[in-house]
Chains A and B, each alone.
Chain A
Amino acid sequence: MKLLQQAYDWLDERLDFKDLAAPLAKKTVPMHGRSYWYFLGGITLFLFMLQVCTGILLLLYYRPSAGEAFESVQYIMTRVQFGWLVRSIHSWAANLMIFTAFAHMFSVLFLKAYRKPRELTWVTGMLLLFLAMGFGFSGYLLPWNTLAFFATKVGTDIAGQVPVVGKWIMIFLRGGEEVTGATLTRFFGFHVAVLPGITTVLIAGHIFLVQRFGMSVPPEVEERWKAAPAEAREMKFFPSFFLRELMAWYIALAVLGALAALLPWELGTKADPFAPAPLGIKPEWYFLFMFQTLKLIPAKVWLVDGELLGILVFGAAGGLWVLLPFFDGAARGRGRRMILGAGIFALAFILVMTVYGYVAK
């Protein structure tokens, strides 16, 4: 203990922890009926950190080639001490992370936390959500099992439908005309190097912006507090909010542990590029609403290819979603209600189409 104290004193003398922690000590979090939504961002961050840790552990045994990928994951699941736990947590945490990221995005939308001056926080957050989906898409192929192989084939086929650059994107993603070992290698590269690099930078930016502007207070609460300033309440970020956030992380960890132990992530059968695609092939749940919509659109809508139209609409909707705060800033009254309506519609659409995608054959 004495040694630890000495080490702390030695560091403190040089780094001046008190000065460093000063902004943290001043930081507060507003307290109101909807404060619990503030935890979602932190939980998503916690799950991302878990992903990084378990991902690094998986890297110790994983081999990114068509001939060895499946066997190496099988080895991790059966032979490596706690390999099953690491892989199951990695897979479950990935899904939970995308879920909490979506929930975080909608909570920010409905609490109107994207308003000026937090436009860039929203934009970086949306980009992070897209990156999380990119992580999911690239990571799904890595075990090189049948479902992943054909889902990637379908997914990259859809990317190939994009006008003008579609074919190029498809070939770039696949590393050729078909999904092969070359696709696996580059998906591995995206998954463990390209995406984590970009994500780390964006997360740093996102957190910086959150710290810079503080937590947003919903407009109606803000108005109420403006009218009666005595009602305004807040808690210290450190340690009050931080410890509560820690509790949320522990709960997330308990959920993850239970999922990993009771429902270990399946491995399936090794991909056979020459085998026919299994019936009812479906993507991961977070792509299902788009997949199901594309399936429902007729082959031709007027003179336009149905699938192409769907891709264009989704692309445009995604783009507009990223720029949402800028429309809100310009809109007044009815315009703002339209944005709220669009949010409710988007949430309902995603829920309905996801459930429909699961139920449909």
Chain B
Amino acid sequence: MWRNKTIWRYAWPGLLLCLAAVPALAQSTSTCLDCHATLDPPLQVTEQQFAADIHAQKGLTCASCHGGDPKLADMDAMSKKAGFRGKIEKKQIPELCGKCHSDGAYMRQYNPSLRTDQLAQYKTSVHGKLLAKGDLKVAVCTDCHGLHGLRPASDTRSQVHPLNVAKTCSRCHADAAYMKDHHIPTDQFAKYTTSVHFDALTVRGDLSAPTCTTCHGNHGAAPPGVDSVQNVCSNCHVFQSQLYEKSSHKAAFQRSALPGCMVCHGKHDISHPTDANLGAGPKAVCMQCHKPGDVCDQARVKILGNLTQLDDGIRGADQLLAAAEASGMEVSEARLEQDQARDALTKARVSIHRFRVDPVNQDVQAGMKIVAKNLQAGKDALRERDYRRMGLGVALLSIFMVLVGLRLYIGKMEQKAR
């Protein structure tokens, strides 16, 4: 007890000193906010914004970017003497951010895995090049990442989170009036939202699905050249690219300066490819270049026929197995093997990029073998079902006869007893 009292006697002045220091500490980081939280935009920075900012969370202050000395009172904090830089000019922003973000040694202490070539990349981008020429309408770091309240890209609320990138780009690129001087289309975002990629990203929630920056690059954003299109798509569609590389179309497209994959699949509005793309109907892509009846058209017809055969076969087996399953038959093994047939169909559809009949046919035949086996399993199951029902009929009839026999016997027996 005495010991505790003694400790308290000596400890309380220290504790009071610590408590007194708390407001001072708080003041050292937020004197800017004392005023700026009450100002109107664009000078306004709220405490919530500041608290959410990744830089503030890592211990940086307003002065880290704007200069000045927040420890000084009133306007002294914003004096030239205190090193105050004030509002950062737009063209200075990339360099200012790059001061830290291009410094590997400095960035390592916060996030060693973060790249430090953003500024160098930015300078190679269309945005960076135009900014260097004095075009202030182009995007700088803060246009995409946000200004105060900046969140890391992994945060779903960040403007540069994969789910939000397209929307962020569209703020300028879908604004026809804003983009007027740059003479580029402004329908990319509208088209992208109809694409299979947008669907994969937003509906299926696949964050690895392509958004603007996946194909155009982020800090080094630029349209891929005609020759680079295949390289861009091959980042994800590896097998298709390998097959296309060996195909006759590669050289033919190069000769005609056609943009590889985009010739058949389109650009921002890439839809889910279907077998109809190989047909001769409104969705046909081959017939945009080929003439009906030529060698290539004949090959197209064969390839399409093969794919249709397997697709129909899978559908037929699915229906048969579903009917068997609905009758309570156990066909899960065949159901599982149907996935292998579907895989074969997917493989055959990928093999199209070789633009030859044989590889597609090979995959289709492998799938057809599985389909034939599963069709047989379905037929067997239905035959077994009918056999069981017939057996049940016989059994029920036998039981009924036994019941009638027993009833008659009981009646006769009891009559006799009476």
- Indicate if the CB atoms of A262 and B392 lie closer than 8 Å: yes
> B389 at the A/B interface (Cβ < 8 Å)?
yes
Contacts of B391 in A (CB 8 A): 261
**A253 in the interface (beta carbon within 8 A):** yes
Are B399 and A250 closer than 8 Å at their CB atoms?
yes
- Residues of chain A within 8 A of B413, CB atoms compared: 239-240, 243
A-B contact count (CB 8 A): 55
User: Which residues on the B side are within 8 Å of A264 (C-beta)?
Assistant: 328-330
Asked if B330 contacts A74 (CB within 8 A), the reply is yes
CB–CB A262/B328 < 8 A: yes
Q: Which residues of A contact B400 (CB under 8 A)?
A: 254
Q: Which interface residue of A74, A244, A254 has the most chain B CB atoms within 10 A?
A: A254
Decide if A262 touches B389 in the complex (CB within 8 Å): yes
Cβ contacts A125-158/B at 8 Å (1 or 0 each): 0000000000000000000000000000000000
Q: Which residues of B contact A262 (CB under 8 A)?
A: 328, 389, 392
Interface string of A246-284 (1 = CB under 8 A from B): 110011011001100111101101000000000000000
Q: Chain A residues with Cβ under 8 A from B330's Cβ?
A: 74, 77-78, 84, 264, 267
Tell me if B403 and A251 are in contact (CB < 8 A).
yes
Q: How many of chain B's residues have a CB under 8 angstroms from any CB in A?
A: 21
Contact A261–B407 (Cβ < 8 Å): no
- Min CB–CB distance B7 → chain A (angstroms): 41
Query: Is B262 an interface residue, CB under 8 A from the partner?
Result: no
Min Cβ gap A76→B in Å is 9
Q: Say yes or no for B396: interface residue by CB 8 A criterion.
A: yes
Contact check, A74 vs B328: say whether CB atoms are below 8 A apart. Answer: no
Q: Is the interface of B mostly helix, strand, loop or mixed?
A: helix
B332 CB–A CB distance under 8 Å: yes
Task: Give CA–CA (A258, B388) in the complex, Å.
Answer: 10
> Chain A residues near B328 (CB, 8 Å)?
262-264, 266
- B373-414 interface with A by 8 A CB criterion: 388-389, 391-392, 395-396, 399-400, 402-403, 406-407, 409-410, 413-414
Q: Is B181 an interface residue (CB 8 A)?
A: no
Q: Which residues of B contact A250 (CB under 8 A)?
A: 399, 402-403, 406
Most buried by A among B388, B389, B409: B388
CB distance from A146 to the nearest CB of B (A): 12
Picked from A243, A244, A253, A261, the residue with its CB within 8 Å of the CB of B399 is: A253
> Least Cβ distance of A27 to chain B in Å?
15
C-alpha gap A260/B391 in the complex (Å)? 11
Shortest CB-to-CB span from B329 to chain A, Å, is 7
The answer to whether A247 touches B407, judged by C-beta atoms less than 8 angstroms apart, is yes
A residues engaging B (CB < 8 A)? 74, 77-78, 84-85, 239-240, 243-244, 246-247, 250-251, 253-254, 257-258, 261-264, 266-267, 269
Known: A254-B400, A257-B396, A261-B389. 4 other contacts (CB 8 A): A85-B388, A247-B403, A257-B395, A261-B388
20 A-B pairs with C-beta separation under 8 A = A74-B330, A74-B332, A74-B333, A78-B330, A84-B388, A240-B413, A240-B414, A243-B406, A243-B410, A244-B410, A246-B406, A250-B399, A254-B395, A254-B399, A257-B395, A258-B396, A261-B391, A262-B389, A263-B328, A264-B329
